[in-house]
Amino acid sequence: MFSYRHAFHAGNHADVLKHTVLIATLDHLLEKEAALTVVDTHAGAGLYRLDGDYAGTSGEAAEGVLRLLAEPEKAPDTPAPGTKPAAKKTAAPAAEKPLAEAIARYLSVIHDFNPKGGARVYPGSPFIVQHLLRDHDKLKLFELHPTDARTLDANIAQLEAGRRIAVLREDGFGSATKFLPPPSRRALVLMDPSYEMKTDYGRVLDFAAEALKRFATGTYAVWYPIIPRPEAHDLPRRLKTLATKAGKSWLHATLTIKSSKITKDAASGETQRPGLPASGMFLINPPYTLKPLLAEALPQLAERLAQDRNASYSLESGG
């Protein structure tokens, strides 16, 4: 346990999906004046440097937020002398379509943390949420990793957010339900474990079941990795069953950027693992505005973040 550090992964394609969904969900929930409580069961360190050692080593942000921010390459209007004009593509490249509203909104939040442009600073879920919340809303952050909890504490202490934000060095699965239901009876719970241990999959389900029992009208959002592991494959199916049995609406969005196949390097013969190829977000009681926003955004994310021709997305809902 505790070998996972989100700093290596901040701003990758999974964060792009997760945070785009998070922002679109919050934007809707914050339209009502009544106070909102956000519970982040697995908060991480809160803020990350994409030009620092961790992110630099993994290079994952380059295939995520940084790729999204990069100016798309434009084909030259006139071919260079002696070259043939480029063949026409059947589909207009994403660069020529207007950016989907949810992606533009996500990038505008990233920009708020990087007023000079780019994304040297990447906000994790605690900072995205605190940035959007109003003075009368509440944020409860759970983080167990000793170093990340300390960093989160220090990062939050820089803000003048007072008692609006609580950082708890506790097991998010074990104790976050104590905040449900909140006094205003309006809450968003983000469950974003590292899935370092395969028991995390079962714990997500148990937590969601217990939370729904305590507070049936809350909005619940689960991020999960799409990897060749039975527990990962089963999680969305089991969440769907849970929501349906409870008579609740649900939404399931996935984003794949590359093949999950393990390959061998032709020259060295070394086995090459693809890294995380895909991930999903499953929401119970999602805002009704989310599906149309994602229907527009997901094809663009799949196109812009594609690393091979296996890039794809899916979006379904029910209840």
Catalytic sites, residue numbers: 192
Q: Which stretch binds ligand SAM (CB under 6 A): 106-114, 166-174, 236-244, 281-289?
A: 166-174
User: Does residue 173 interact with ligand SAM by CB under 6 A?
Assistant: yes
Residue closer to ligand SAM by CB (options 96, 171) is: 171
Total Cβ atoms within 10 A of residue 118:
14
Q: Does 171 bind ligand SAM (CB under 6 A)?
A: yes
Q: Tell me which of 13, 23, 27, 44 binds ligand SAM, using CB under 6 A.
A: 44
Distances (CA, A) of 227 to 61, 190, 239, 259, 280: 19, 21, 17, 11, 11
Alpha-carbon span 130 to 138, nearest angstrom = 9
**Binding status of residue 64 toward ligand SAM by CB under 6 A:** no
Identity of residue 203? R
Q: Compute the C-alpha angle 45/50/56, nearest 5°.
A: 110
Is 192 near ligand SAM (CB under 6 A)? yes
Half-sphere CA count of 141, side-chain side, radius 13 A = 28
Residue 58 as a binder of ligand SAM (CB under 6 A): the answer is: no
Q: Is 11 in the site for ligand SAM (CB under 6 A)?
A: no
Interface region with ligand SAM, contact rule CB under 6 A, candidates 61-69, 95-103, 168-176, 294-302:
168-176
The nearest distance, CB 145 to ligand SAM, in angstroms, is: 3
Distance (Å, whole) CA 304 – CA 17 = 12
Between the CA of residue 135 and those of 12, 30, 139, what are the distances in Å? 30, 12, 11
Site membership for ligand SAM, residue 124 (CB under 6 A): yes
Q: What mask of x and - would describe binding to ligand SAM in positions 129 to 148, judged by CB under 6 A? A: -------------xxxx--x
Segment contacting ligand SAM by CB under 6 A, of 106-114, 187-195, 272-280, 286-294: 187-195
- Rule CB under 6 A: choose which of 42, 67, 248, 258 binds ligand SAM: 42
Q: Which helix (H) or strand (E) holds 281?
A: strand 278-284
Of 171 and 206, CB closest to ligand SAM = 171
SS3 115: coil
Rounded distance, CA 61 to CA 124, Å? 13
The answer to whether the beta carbons of residues 234 and 227 sit under 8 Å apart is no
Give yes or no for a cis peptide into 126 (omega within 30° of 0).
no
Answer yes or no whether residue 27 interacts with ligand SAM by CB under 6 A. Answer: no
**Are the CB atoms for 254 and 278 separated by under 8 Å?**
yes
Task: Indicate whether 43 belongs to the interface with ligand SAM (CB under 6 A).
Answer: yes
- How far is Cα 179 from Cα 170, in angstroms, rounded to an integer? 13
Q: Shortest approach of ligand SAM to residue 38 CB, angstroms?
A: 11
Which residues does the annotation place in the binding site?
Answer: 19, 42, 125, 143, 171-172, 192
Residues near ligand SAM, by CB under 6 A:
4, 6, 18, 40, 42-44, 124-125, 142-145, 148, 171-173, 192-194
